[in-house]
Amino acid sequence: MLLPHFEPECFDVKENFACDYPEEGLIKAYNVQTGEKYPDFAEFVSFFGFNGGRDQEDIMARFLYGSSKDWNNVTCNWIKEDIRKGQDSLFSKWKQFLDSKFVGESWQGIDPVSAFTLCECGVDNKQKIVRYFTLPNSLEGVTFLEDDQPCSDKVSFSTYSSRWQNQDYETQVVDTTGCHFVHRDSDKGRGILLIALVSMLIILGLGFLIYYYRETQIMYASSQRTMAVFLTGAFFLNASYLVYVGYSPTRGRCFIRIALLTFGVTLFTGSLLIKQFYLYGLFYASPFNSRNATRTAILKRQILILTTIPVILIICWSALVSNLTPR
């Protein structure tokens, strides 16, 4: 707030400081720290022509960088007293020398408001909750550059610019929360993926051995069907981790993971039932395991039974989550 030389007003501050206006005819009521923060300060002063026989730069320097006291009450009281004078108000006379647009718009401002965003999952399996600033609506003469990278690890700002003020609003991390999935570049994520991949390679190797030695007596007596179904279920269980680890959940990924888990568990545990079906077929004829049926036909029937269970479970799951919105 800038005031002309008028009748000085005094009041007691902490140390009975005697208030008076400077001899240049202006008073700095609030502490102005830098000229860059108030770019139109010189233009405003020049409108009033308060040179006082001194260079404008000298006056600017003294008011921008000089020490300040608590002038808040002085400023408010001066305006109240001056306005009561009506037509003789000195403040009213000032306005006659100023452009109406300069007075009506240049002084206006708008305060940025806080906004929050949830950043992507980091390698520490944490998500940052970041506060940045945005402008609720536009105003002529005001430029606001919103932080376009609030989740950056570097210090970033939103910048407010107007005729009277330039200010940076720092983007800050206000909190962190755990990720809803395991980041693939984290130690846990890499460990899980490594174990799953190695396990899948071992399962494929065992499956190849079963097929390669399928005609041997020991393999023939060990129920190849039971081992094949067992390994297939184990393979699906490990494959489900490849879908889950390292990627943000989506509806499609969740469906694939549930399908792999359901089929994996059913086939893994159902391999024991396959063994029971085989023993049952040795002694009793049944529609599912006839003595006259080939081994391939029997296996197809048993696989059909085991796959029907997870299909029903997946259909039920899809019906339950069809109206849910993914994160």
For 92-151, how does the pLDDT look when each residue is reduced to its tens digit (9 = 90+)?
Answer: 666 665 555 455 554 556 678 888 988 888 888 888 899 998 887 776 667 888 888 888
Q: What pLDDT shows up at residue 163?
A: 64
Q: What is the pLDDT of residue 308?
A: 81
| Band (227; pLDDT cuts 50, 70, 90) | confident
pLDDT at 92: 66
The pLDDT value recorded for residue 290 is 52
Angstrom distance (rounded) from CA 213 to CA 205: 12
Lowest mean pLDDT among 25-29, 86-90, 114-118, 320-324: 25-29
pLDDT score of 68: 45
Nearest to 163 by CA among 321, 38, 298: 38
Out of 126-135, 199-208, 280-289, pick the least confident.
280-289
User: 288: which DSSP letter?
Assistant: T
Whole-number pLDDT of residue 13: 43
In this prediction, residue 200 carries a pLDDT of 92
More confident residue, 224 or 290: 224
C-alpha–C-alpha distance, residues 132 and 117, integer Å: 8
From 23-32, 57-66, 108-117, 149-158, the region with the lowest mean pLDDT: 23-32
Q: Which of these ranges, 79-88, 143-152, 246-255, 317-326, has the smallest mean pLDDT?
A: 317-326
Q: What are phi and psi of 303, to 5 degrees?
A: -65, -35
**Which of these, 102, 106, 100, 98, lies nearest to 139 by C-alpha position?**
106
Type and span of the H or E element at 186:
none
Q: Pick the residue with more confidence: 283 or 86?
A: 86
Residue 256 contacts residue 289 (beta carbons within 8 Å)? no
What the block records as the tokens of 228 is 């094949």
Q: Residue type for 248, please?
A: S
The whole-angstrom separation of Cα 21 and Cα 8 is: 6
Strongest mean pLDDT among 93-97, 284-288, 306-310: 306-310
Domain boundaries, the chain: 1-98, 113-178, 187-321
In which band, very low, low, confident or very high, does the pLDDT at 203 lie, cut at 50, 70 and 90? very high
More confidently predicted of 46 and 189: 189
Measured over the CA atoms of residue 255, residue 256, residue 258 and residue 259, the dihedral's sign is: positive
Q: And the tokens for 274? A: 């396959």
% of residues, the chain, pLDDT over 90: 4
Decide if pLDDT at 252 tops 60.
yes
Q: With H, G, I as helix, E, B as strand and everything else as coil, classify residue 161.
A: strand
pLDDT(324) > 60? no
Please identify which residue in the block is written with the tokens 């100023």: 98
Tokens 């860059």, residue? 36
For residue 168, pLDDT over 80 is answered with yes
Residue predicted with more confidence, 191 or 22: 191
| 268 or 220, which is more confident | 268
Q: Within a 10 A sphere around the Cβ of 29, how many other Cβ atoms?
A: 19
Q: How far is CA 325 from CA 229, 250, 251, 302, 320, in A?
A: 35, 10, 8, 37, 12
User: Which helix (H) or strand (E) covers residue 205, if one does?
Assistant: helix 187-212
Mean pLDDT, the chain, as a whole number?
69
Does residue 243 or residue 299 have the better pLDDT? 243
Cβ neighbours for 298, distance < 8 A, ≥ 6 positions apart: 225, 277, 278, 281, 288, 289, 290
What is the rounded CA–CA span in Å between residue 145 and residue 152? 16
234 or 92: which leads in pLDDT: 234
